[in-house]
């Protein structure tokens, strides 16, 4: 069973997505900001991340920048789920290799599920992440 981490400070937006993905057979954990997500990533690595862009403490762009800077986390697929699908934060997400962007207000759960399944099939690393001392080294 693949695991998905949802990083979103709005439970009204993240909980329906989490419920839908659980019913679809995925293990889902939700956290309210990028800082908490990073602390979780030091343990088990999720197979996919669904990320909001505007959050307190550490927004989605900052989280994605840190995520992509570590070899262990570089190839985790990230789907952006945001109420603001345009603007500089989305340009930054594209620069940092976010895999896809969905708009919260117009979210079609079947399209999201198809995206999740497509990105999980494309993974080029073992599910559950890598282990070892070099896993926490910043990418060069």
Looking at residue 130, its pLDDT comes to 33
8 Å CB contact between 13 and 105: no
Q: What pTM, to 2 d.p., does this model score?
A: 0.84
Start-to-end Cα distance in the chain: 32
Looking at residue 86, its pLDDT comes to 72
How far, in Å, are 26, 63, 113, 123 from residue 22 at the CA level?
5, 24, 11, 20
pLDDT along the chain (140 residues), means of 10: 95 95 97 93 91 90 92 92 77 84 91 96 55 34
Residue extents of the structural domains in the chain:
3-123
Give the CATH H-level superfamily of domain 3-123. Response regulator (3.40.50.2300)
Looking at residue 90, its pLDDT comes to 73
Residue from 79, 101, 99 nearest 90 by CA: 101
Looking at residue 16, its pLDDT comes to 96
């Amino acid at each position: 069973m693949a695991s998905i981490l949802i990083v979103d400070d709005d439970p009204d937006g993240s909980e329906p997505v989490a419920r839908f993905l659980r019913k679809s057979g995925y293990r889902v954990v939700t956290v309210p900001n990028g800082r908490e997500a990073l602390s979780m990533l030091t343990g088990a690595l999720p197979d996919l991340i669904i990320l909001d862009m505007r959050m307190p403490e550490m927004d989605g762009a900052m989280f994605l920048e840190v995520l992509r800077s570590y070899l262990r986390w570089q190839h985790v697929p990230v789907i952006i789920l945001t109420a603001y699908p345009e603007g500089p934060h989305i340009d930054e997400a594209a620069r940092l290799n976010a895999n896809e962007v969905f708009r919260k207000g117009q979210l079609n759960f079947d399209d999201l599920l198809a995206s999740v399944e497509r990105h999980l099939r494309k993974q080029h690393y073992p599910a559950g992440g890598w282990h070892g001392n070099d896993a926490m080294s910043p990418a060069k």
